[in-house]
Amino acid sequence: MTFDQSKTRKVVIIGTGFVGASYAYSLVNQGIVNELVLVDLNKERAEGEARDLNHGMPFAFASPMKIRSGDYDECKNADLVVITAGANQAPGETRLDLAAKNAKIMKGIVTSIMDSGFKGILLVATNPVDVLTHVALEVSNLPKERVIGSGTILDTARFRYLLSEYYQVDSRNVHAYIIGEHGDSELPVWSHVQIGGVPIEKYGKITDVEKDPDMINIYENVRDAAYHIIERKGATYYGIGLGLARLTKAILYNENAIVTVSALFEGEYGIDNVYLGIPAVVNEYGVREKLELDLNENELKKLRESAAILKEMTENVMPKS
């Protein structure tokens, strides 16, 4: 794997807790950026993370990176700013329970980013990610293509992993999407699941995939994965750290990659003015296009229900200007 190093690629991470630090570590391992700046309310923490990461540089696989802690002025010439700051879930809490608290934090952070003169792409991971990406859009006034949420990238990865374990095939040969809310109302697009290009009902010799107990169990384990991990270790971070690195590569290397991000719906699937997880083509300009999946009636109904939940929550917490 070699990357074009002729261009400087600068990323600023806002929030260097579990998620921000895991993402930074993934970037270092994959050598995706040249310059990485860590910003946190807790400046000591950001500085400590920067020092620790720098000490791994002699072991890094790719070209050396410049890593430092800093402040919002660093966003001015950044290609990408990734927001991972804010409260995470306590055991038993839903992502939506964090909405009011994190919307206030998001407003302050995005205002500071924009005050720097930032003109790049904003990527949001803070939960509830769909709601907060919409807040980031409103506060930043950036074009909608350039305000992206990590959406269901992690849920889709969990889904592919669990299917790959069940069928004992490489997860990279499983094609499957989770769409809608990154949260309790998310849904699996069973009608489009393929193993090595073969539809799942044929591959798995299943008559009705939506009613199959093993497949329902897989979906429920995807939906509830964060709860299961938070009960055991307090937070989730490696999976999303790698997912954010994947999105970073898609953006900074103009990959036109199809990834399940949270993007603004504007009438697609009969859904308007709400951010939701959907497979989309992502490149250096942000979201180039959302895929128009041929959803069945049940999937469409569930997607619209998920959208309605998020829309109401977004309206409730959207900061007044």
Ligand X SMILES: NC(=O)C1=CN([C@@H]2O[C@H](COP(=O)(O)OP(=O)(O)OC[C@H]3O[C@@H](n4cnc5c(N)ncnc54)[C@H](O)[C@@H]3O)[C@@H](O)[C@H]2O)C=CC1
Q: Which residue ranges are tagged as binding site for beta-D-fructose 1,6-bisphosphate?
A: 160, 175
Asked if 134 is an active-site residue, the reply is no
Q: Does residue 127 belong to the site contacting ligand PYR (CB under 6 A)? A: yes
Nearest to 295 by CA among 265, 269, 319, 271: 269
Q: Does residue 14 belong to the site contacting ligand X (CB under 6 A)? A: yes
Q: Does residue 178 belong to the site contacting ligand X (CB under 6 A)? A: no
Across-strand partners of 263?
276
Partner from ligand X, ligand PYR, none binding residue 37, C-beta < 5-8 Å depending on class: none
Q: Does residue 236 belong to the site contacting ligand PYR (CB under 6 A)? A: yes
* Member of 10, 95, 246, 249 binding ligand PYR (CB under 6 A): 95
Q: Does residue 291 belong to the site contacting ligand X (CB under 6 A)? A: no
Per-residue tokens: 228: 């299961």
Q: Which residue positions form the known binding site?
A: 15-20, 40, 45, 72, 86-87, 89, 95, 102, 125-130, 150, 155-158, 160, 175, 236
Distance CA 171, CA 316 (A): 38
Burial class (CB in 10 A: 0-12, 13-18, 19+), 292: exposed
- Look up residue 180 and give its DSSP letter: B
* Member of 9, 11, 12, 16 binding ligand X (CB under 6 A): 16
CB closer to ligand PYR out of 65 and 178: 178
Nearest to 47 by CA among 76, 18, 68, 77: 68
Query: Do the beta carbons of residue 252 and residue 222 sit within 8 Å?
Result: no
* Member of 154, 174, 244, 278 binding ligand PYR (CB under 6 A): 154
Stretch touching ligand X by CB under 6 A, among 53-61, 125-133, 134-142, 308-316:
125-133
HEC string of 91-135? CCCCCHHHHHHHHHHHHHHHHHHHHCCCCCEEEECCCCHHHHHHH
Distance CA 293, CA 309 (A): 21
Judged by CB under 6 A, how many residues of this single chain contact ligand PYR? 6
Helix ranges (H only) for the chain are 18-30, 43-54, 99-115, 129-140, 153-167, 200-203, 213-223, 225-233, 238-252, 297-317
Partner from ligand X, ligand PYR, none binding residue 306, C-beta < 5-8 Å depending on class: none
Q: Does residue 86 belong to the site contacting ligand X (CB under 6 A)? A: yes
Q: Does residue 277 belong to the site contacting ligand X (CB under 6 A)? A: no
Across-strand partners of 187?
179
CB closer to ligand PYR out of 91 and 267: 91
Per-residue tokens: 47: 């500085």
**Which amino acids are annotated catalytic?**
182
In the complex, which residues of this chain contact ligand PYR (CB under 6 A)? 89, 95, 127, 154, 226, 236
In the complex, which residues of this chain contact ligand X (CB under 6 A)? 14-20, 40-42, 45, 84-89, 98, 102, 105, 108-109, 125-127, 129, 150, 154, 182, 235-237, 240
